[in-house]
Structure formats: C-alpha cells, structure tokens
Amino acid sequence: MKSWLLLSALAFSVASVAIAHEKATGVVKERMEKMERFEELVERIFAMLHGELSYDPEAVRRAGLEIQEGAGKHMTALFPKGSNEAPSEAKDAIWLDFGSFEHLSLMLESWSGELAAQAETPPVGNLPKKWENAEMGPAMMQGGGMMRQSGSVFAAWHVAATCNACHAEFRNAD
C-alpha cells in the first residue's frame, strides 16, 4: 500500500512540474527535464532507503550512473550565458559565480558515481525523510548521522545535499 501511495505522489509531482514548465524551450527545457529526472531518481532512492519501496541495488546503481552521466560538464553545458529567461528557475548568480556552480556539479558527478559503486553495500544509517532536507555540514552530524552511515546511505545523503546546496545558491524558490 505504501508503495502505491508513494508512486502516486511521485506521478502527481512530476505531472505538476511538467505543466509548470510546458512553455520552456531549447536548453532551458532540456535542463528542466534533466533536473526533473534527477529529482525522480533521488526520491525513488530515498524511498528505498527508508523501506517505502523494496531496496533494489541494481536500480540504485543505475540511478547513480544516470545522475553521474548528466552531472559535471554535461550539466554546466546546459547553462550557457543568457539562458535564464522565463520559465527558467536559474538565478543570475550561476553566471556571476560559475566556478562555484561548476564545483557543485562536479561534486554531484562524484557522489552519484559513489552511490552507484556502493549500491550493493547494505544500507546502514538514517536519512532525513525527504531528500530536500539533506544538508551538508552540522546537520549530517546530528544524532550521529555521519558516523553511523555507510555505503549507499552515505552517498545518497551527499547526492541530495549537493543538489540542495546548488538549489539554495542558484535556483529561484518555487
């Protein structure tokens, strides 16, 4: 029952975002679709790590590889100068501090590769219920978070935290 509800919520979320972005074209549309796909993958991984869906190491590995392939230089190429017209959610800060944006994109590439590599390791540790609440820094240490995490949980936390750090800095709030 939980799986059905989660999948229904995911489908509704994706449909809502798709409607909001229907006017996007070109590279803006391409990057919005890429980000939506990454969100879908991370939500599914978190659902598996929380036991809401059965843990499938192969699905986690494939998700990690898909994110890795779209991150790094592939991601930064989706943000050429002047591509922040509506309905883009990108802040001008991306182009004012492209080095920091590129650094976060490379971190996402690295951590998602680690997630793929650690997918077979049994998940141990606690994650925030929602991936949007994963943060780098002190939040990872609360309740022994960092110290008791291993494998896919550790890498999933970093993937989500990297996404969130980038969104906080470079994405306009919804």
CATH code of residue 16: 1.20.120.10
Instruction: Using alpha carbons, select from 125, 117, 115, 129 the residue that is nearest to residue 162.
Output: 115
Please indicate whether residue 4 or residue 38 has the higher confidence score (pLDDT).
38
Q: Which residues pair with 88 in a beta bridge?
A: none
List the single range of 8-12, 78-82, 145-149 with lowest mean pLDDT.
145-149
pLDDT value of residue 8: 54
pLDDT value of residue 146: 46
Rounded to two decimals, the pTM is 0.81
Whether 21 has a pLDDT exceeding 70, the answer reads no
The model's pLDDT over 25-45, given as tens digits with 9 standing for 90+, comes to 999 999 999 999 999 999 999
Segment 56-82 mean pLDDT:
97
Reported as a pLDDT band with limits 50, 70 and 90, residue 173 is: confident
pLDDT value of residue 50: 87
Q: Which long-range contacts (CB under 8 A, 24 or more apart) does 23-31 make?
A: 23/86, 23/87, 24/87, 24/88, 26/83, 27/78, 27/79, 27/80, 27/83, 28/83, 28/85, 28/87, 28/88, 30/78, 31/75, 31/78, 31/79, 31/90
Whether 114 has a pLDDT exceeding 80, the answer reads yes
Whether 1 has a pLDDT exceeding 60, the answer reads no
pLDDT value of residue 16: 47
Instruction: Using alpha carbons, select from 99, 104, 94, 93 the residue that is nearest to residue 159.
Output: 104
Two tokens at 109?
Answer: 């590439």
The model's pLDDT over 82-99, given as tens digits with 9 standing for 90+, comes to 998 889 999 999 999 999
Q: How many domains does the chain have?
A: 1
Average pLDDT, the chain: 84
Host domain of residue 139: 2-170
